[in-house]
């Protein structure tokens, strides 16, 4: 079996959905498990619904806007009277009802129950459309297959339980299902973290012992630099699992950090290809491959915070102090992307996805002098050629670190 993943950009409008059928005709869809994300920016829009729900805003209006955007796409793909119209309306009615009847104060729980509708709707539309064009497929609810704990918004997958569920499925078919979702022991919906559909594809590849996994994107493959910030990026043809994990760790947005582990465990080859050019070679990621071409890779991570902690009494930053600080960061789900220490200071580049930074600062300032530079960028060059490299932008350089073949710069 092969696993394919189509992300939000590949289903952003009716033309994009039609294009998927073309990609499948080229790539083949016999014995394939296909994972599909929410359409375009739907997940962001549904995050807005959650926000409105908690602020007692007009979430119903926002839902109806999202519903209309989906119906516009449906109108371009199906004749009136097709059952998809009712299915889409029913899904949004369910979402409305859930939010109206439920008064849960648990933000993360409500978040998962809500944003999951993006994937439910998109997969219904794509599945029906493919069936209409003669690409017969079986729609599956991934929440019946991927089991997780109840850490909403970043659920932890129970691989063995999930694997047993996948084993029950018949072979040689074309299955289509949602990315990013799972269910907890009480069958409530969970999500695997933003952009988690790649991870879903990797979980499925692992659970079905797939022969390969392909992510179809709007770029030719993995590039050595993000074209949004850098000119003339080059396509990386071959990457080892090891290097792919490093690139993901430093923030290369094409590879979701959790994706690599399940693939590596089973040595499943991983391809990144363009849905606009399905015959292109794309990128191949596999065990032991040499980076080709052998070029530096540039990664820019925005929205970072640089914290500088100094002991109050000129005592050394000792292991026990560092371990207490790291523990607190872990508890508050603050992600450290760079760390550097000297005798009395510890510098940390921190990502504040769950809005906990101020809490951290409050607690730590009891024992340390703490300076915080918000909204800085972290620039990483893997395989760098030039030690005097400067980071893009014109803000002040705040910190520089070189470890082996990795150069990192923090810039305001």
Contact flag: residue 225 with ligand ASP (CB under 6 A): no
Contact flag: residue 262 with ligand ASP (CB under 6 A): no
Residue nearest to ligand ASP (CB): 197
Residue 123: name the closest of 157, 156, 87 by CA.
87
The DSSP output letter for 13 is: S
C-beta closer to Mg ion: residue 35 or 297: 35
Count helices and strands in the chain by DSSP H and E runs: 11, 16
DSSP string, 91-105: HHHHHHHHHHH----
Residue 196 partner contact from ligand ASP, Mg ion, none using kind-dependent CB cut-offs of 5 to 8 Å: ligand ASP
Least Å from the CB of residue 399 to ligand ASP:
30
Which of positions 13-52 make contact with ligand ASP (CB under 6 A)?
37-38, 43
Residue 38 partner contact from ligand ASP, Mg ion, none using kind-dependent CB cut-offs of 5 to 8 Å: ligand ASP
Contact flag: residue 112 with ligand ASP (CB under 6 A): no
Least Å from the CB of residue 252 to ligand ASP:
15
| Phi, psi (deg, nearest 5) at residue 261 | -60, -50
Of 180, 206, 216, 275, the one binding ligand ASP by CB under 6 A: 180
C-beta closer to ligand ASP: residue 43 or 137: 43
What is the distance of C-alpha 286 from the center of its chain? 20
Least Å from the CB of residue 90 to ligand ASP:
20
Residue 300: name the closest of 395, 411, 400 by CA.
411
Number of neighbouring beta carbons within 10 Å of residue 113: 21
Contact stretch for ligand ASP (CB under 6 A) within 158-166, 190-198, 346-354, 373-381: 190-198
Q: What does the alpha-carbon distance between residue 240 and residue 244 come to, in Å, rounded to a whole number? A: 6
Least Å from the CB of residue 189 to ligand ASP:
13
Of 8, 40, 251, 257, the one binding ligand ASP by CB under 6 A: 8
Residue 179 partner contact from Mg ion, ligand ASP, none using kind-dependent CB cut-offs of 5 to 8 Å: ligand ASP
Residue 380 partner contact from Mg ion, ligand ASP, none using kind-dependent CB cut-offs of 5 to 8 Å: none
Residue 118 partner contact from ligand ASP, Mg ion, none using kind-dependent CB cut-offs of 5 to 8 Å: ligand ASP
Q: With contacts defined by CB under 6 A, how many residues of the chain interact with ligand ASP?
A: 12
Q: What does the alpha-carbon distance between residue 357 and residue 181 come to, in Å, rounded to a whole number? A: 27
Residues whose CB is less than 8 angstroms from the CB of residue 92 and which lie 6 or more positions away in sequence, other chains included: 63, 64, 66, 67, 70, 117, 121
Contact stretch for ligand ASP (CB under 6 A) within 195-203, 244-252, 269-277, 319-327: 195-203
Q: What does the alpha-carbon distance between residue 264 and residue 345 come to, in Å, rounded to a whole number? A: 37
Contact flag: residue 67 with ligand ASP (CB under 6 A): no
Contact flag: residue 194 with ligand ASP (CB under 6 A): yes
What are the strands, taking DSSP E only, across 159-258? 174-178, 181-183, 189-191, 212-217, 238-240
Which of positions 286-315 make contact with ligand ASP (CB under 6 A)?
none
Contact flag: residue 196 with ligand ASP (CB under 6 A): yes
Residue 142 partner contact from ligand ASP, Mg ion, none using kind-dependent CB cut-offs of 5 to 8 Å: none
Yes or no: say if 254 and 228 are a contact pair by the CB < 8 Å rule: no
Of 1, 2, 6, 7, the one binding ligand ASP by CB under 6 A: 7
Least Å from the CB of residue 9 to Mg ion:
7
Contact stretch for ligand ASP (CB under 6 A) within 9-17, 162-170, 189-197, 348-356: 189-197
Q: Which residue has the tokens 């990386």?
A: 236
Contact flag: residue 145 with ligand ASP (CB under 6 A): no
DSSP string, 121-160: HHHHHHHHHHHHTT---EE--GGGT-BB-S-TTSPPB-HH
Burial tier of 162 (Cβ tally within 10 Å: 0-12, 13-18, 19+): buried
Yes or no: say if 55 and 75 are a contact pair by the CB < 8 Å rule: no
C-beta closer to ligand ASP: residue 8 or 282: 8
113 in helix, strand or coil? Answer: helix
- Sites of contact with ligand ASP (CB under 6 A): 7-8, 37-38, 43, 118, 179-180, 194-197
């Amino acid at each position: 079996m092969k696993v394919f993943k189509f992300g939000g950009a590949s289903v952003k409008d009716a033309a994009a959905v039609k294009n998927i059928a073309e990609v499948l005709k080229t790539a083949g869809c016999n014995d394939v498990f296909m994972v599909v994300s929410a359409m375009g920016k739907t997940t962001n829009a549904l995050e807005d619904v959650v926000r409105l729900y908690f602020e007692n805003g007009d979430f119903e209006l926002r839902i109806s806007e999202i519903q209309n955007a989906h119906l516009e796409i449906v109108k371009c793909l199906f004749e009136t009277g097709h059952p998809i119209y009712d299915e889409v309306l029913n899904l949004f009615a369910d979402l409305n009802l859930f939010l109206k009847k439920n008064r849960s104060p648990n933000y993360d729980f409500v978040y998962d129950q809500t944003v999951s509708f993006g994937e439910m709707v998109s997969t219904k539309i794509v599945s029906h459309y493919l069936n209409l064009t003669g690409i017969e497929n079986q729609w599956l609810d991934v929440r019946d297959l991927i089991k997780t704990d109840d850490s909403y918004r970043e659920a932890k997958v129970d691989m063995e339980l999930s694997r047993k569920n996948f084993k029950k499925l018949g072979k040689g078919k074309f299955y289509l299902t949602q990315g990013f979702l799972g269910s907890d022991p009480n069958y409530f919906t969970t999500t695997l973290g933003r952009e988690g559909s790649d991870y879903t594809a990797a979980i499925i590849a692992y659970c079905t012992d797939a022969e390969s996994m392909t992510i179809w994107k709007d770029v030719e493959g993995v590039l050595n630099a993000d074209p949004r910030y850098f000119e003339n990026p080059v396509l990386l043809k071959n990457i080892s699992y090891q290097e792919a994990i490093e690139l993901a760790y430093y923030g290369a947005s094409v590879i979701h950090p959790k994706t690599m582990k399940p693939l590596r465990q089973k040595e499943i080859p991983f391809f990144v290809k363009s849905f606009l050019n399905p015959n292109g070679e794309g990128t191949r990621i596999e065990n032991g491959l040499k980076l080709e071409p052998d070029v530096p890779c540039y990664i820019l991570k925005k929205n970072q915070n640089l914290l500088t902690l100094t002991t109050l009494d000129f005592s050394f930053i000792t292991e026990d102090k560092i371990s207490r600080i790291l523990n607190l960061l872990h508890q508050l789900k603050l992600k450290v992307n760079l760390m550097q220490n000297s005798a009395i200071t510890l510098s940390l580049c921190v990502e504040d996805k769950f809005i906990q930074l101020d809490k951290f600062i409050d607690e730590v300032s009891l024992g340390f002098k703490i300076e915080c530079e918000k909204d800085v960028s972290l620039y990483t060059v893997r395989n760098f050629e030039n030690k005097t490299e400067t980071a893009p932008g014109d803000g002040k350089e705040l910190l520089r670190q070189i470890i082996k073949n990795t150069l990192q710069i923090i810039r305001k």
